[in-house]
Structures are given as C-alpha cells and as structure tokens.
Amino acid sequence: MTASSEGRDGTGNRKGAGGLCGGRVVIVTGAGRGLGRAHALAFAAEGARVVVNDLGVGPGGDGGSAGPARQVADEIVATGGEAVAHGGDIATAEGAESLVRTALESFGRLDTLVNNAGFLRDRMLVNLSEADWDAVIRVHLKGHFLPLRYAAEHWRAETKAGRAPVARVVNTSSGAGLLGSVGQGNYSAAKAGVVGLTLVAAAELGRYGIQVNAIAPAARTRMTERTFAGAMAAPEGGGFDAMAPENVSPLVVWLGSAASDGVTGRVFEAEAGRLTVMEGWRPGPTTDRGARWAPADAGEAVRKLLAEAEPPRPVYGAGQGGG
C-alpha cells in the first residue's frame, strides 16, 4: 500500500492514469464501512489514490478497531489501486493533522478531502444527555472542521509557493440537517452546522483554488438501518437497489474531481438515482413599516406574512410518538 513514483501533469493527475480522478490523492474519513467505503472504492475505480480513514467504532461511537480501514485499503490494492489506511481520530487536532500528513508522506500530494465520519446517539430532547450531545457534535462537526482546516492550510501554502492546487472538499450533511429529525436533535444540529461550515469555507478558500460542497445523502448504512428499518432493505432477486450506498458515490467522485470546476458552496441531495440541488434559505414575504413595531402589531404583520409564505417541509418523524 505505497505510492508509485509516476510523473504528473499540471492538473494533479498521474500521466497515463485513467479515470475521472486519475492520479488524484483523496482522503475519505469514516471510510471503513457504509457510504465512506463506497466513496473510497469509487474514487479508486476512477484512478485516485486513497487514504482510508476510520476509527472502527460501533454505530454509537463505542470501541474501535484498525480492521475496517485496513480492509478497505487492502481491497483497493487487491484490485490494482493504491491506498493506505489511517486510524487516527480526526476530531482531534493531532489526528486531523496526521491524516493530511499521511496523504503527503504516502503519495506526495493531496487533492480531495471527503468528510464523512460520524455516528448516532439518538434520543428525544428531554432524554438527551450532555455526553451524547457532545459526542455527536464532536464527531460530525469538529470532525469536519479539523481535517478541513489542516487540508486548507496545506493548500494555502501550495498556492503561496506558486503551485495552485485543484483542490476539492466534499462535506456530508443530511436531510436531518436541512429539515430536522425527531429524536435526533444532536445529529440535526451537527449536520445543519456542516452546511454553515461549507458555505463559509467555500467563500473563504476559493482564492486558494479550493472548492467546497456538501451532500445530503440517503442510503442504507449502519446509521440508518434502525431509522428506516425494512424500507431500506435490498431488493430480493436483484434489480436496482435504490438504497445502496454506492448510488451516492458517483456525485461525490465528480465533486471531488477536476471536472467539477466552478461548482462550490452548494448542497446536493443524493438518493437512489435522484440528484437535487438544494436552494436553502431565501427571503420570502416581507414588510417594512420604517419604524419600530409594537409587539401586537408585529404579531399581526407576521401572521399576514405567513399567510403568503410557502409552508415549511415537515420535520422527519414529526407526528410520531416518542418517549
């Protein structure tokens, strides 16, 4: 699982390497299973050299094993690709810095970062402990920020040295972050934060040749199997598996490639064969009296505005009981 020493052209691709991401070096966090594994394999199939990061923890963040990351890296190598495993905790500065250093020491460069790592600790708000809140916010939000911060630091240095990168970051939000999800206050808050981080990073980092986008995927993984139960089961007897994680990866690979030039600061939903550009918060009906409102008058004005506004999409799970 070591890098080759082939020459490179000005696009960050290995000369003679095939595929959409030929020769690009890609980090995928949380790549030992589920969506991350699918992304890592898809990038490798398109010619990328992959750093496979995973702590190997359980669905709730418990335990830990180097096995899942190593298995995916070995799978890539067995099919003729190049990959290395990284088992560091990317929600720590030390782990995130070592993740970027692993890419540079193994392959001599870094082109794409896919932030995907995460786990769930679902509770209704009145039952949600501070520890479960902190753990989920940490892995999803801090675990996005720190790898992004160290990758961006490297790419900024490259730009200042006259080696402008063709850099890509793909963050992972969720429908829960866009709409909310009953029983997932911690997860919804973290994934909404990922969207905000994505928008700021796209605005700040474009000057260094870095594009930053986010996806809100829907697929069958360990994190979703309890939420969706049988609705996400693989079809019997073959046919299109609408909930396979592999359905999301083509968009991620394209966003992580040089071919996505000019696309930044966007959020996409990806589910089965459907891709959607999410348009986010935009101003709706408004009124301005040119002076301070009295509370009762403000309330009356708001009710008139709400009557003109589009109704919000429902929160996932709204109307269902819970304890």
Residues forming beta bridges with residue 14, ordered by sequence position:
8
Q: Kindly list the strands in the beta sheet with 210-218, ordered across the sheet, starting from the edge strand earlier in the chain.
A: 83-86, 49-53, 25-28, 112-114, 167-172, 210-218, 267-271, 274-278
How many angstroms separate the Cα of 5 from the Cα of each of 82, 108, 109? 12, 9, 12
* Token output for 37: 């594994």
Active site residue 187: yes
Among the options 174, 188, 249, 257, which is catalytic?
Answer: 174
Active site residue 150: no
Whole-angstrom distance, CA of residue 54 vs CA of residue 223 = 15
Whole-angstrom distance, CA of residue 130 vs CA of residue 211 = 34
Among the options 187, 208, 249, 316, which is catalytic?
Answer: 187
Which ranges constitute the DSSP H helices of the chain?
Answer: 34-45, 67-78, 93-107, 130-137, 143-160, 175-179, 185-205, 225-228, 249-255, 295-308
Whole-angstrom distance, CA of residue 224 vs CA of residue 33 = 13
Q: Half-sphere exposure (CA, 13 Å, Cβ side) for 60?
A: 9
Active site residue 98: no
Residues forming beta bridges with residue 83, ordered by sequence position:
50
Total count of residues recorded for the chain? 323
Instruction: Say how many C-beta atoms besides its own lie within 10 A of residue 114's C-beta.
Output: 31
- Helix or strand or coil: residue 244? coil
Angle made by CA atoms 147, 268, 101, in degrees to the nearest 5: 15
How many angstroms separate the first and last alpha carbons of the chain? 48
Whole-angstrom distance, CA of residue 169 vs CA of residue 199 = 12
Among the options 181, 191, 249, 257, which is catalytic?
Answer: 191
* Token output for 73: 């890296």
**Residues known to be catalytic:** 174, 187, 191
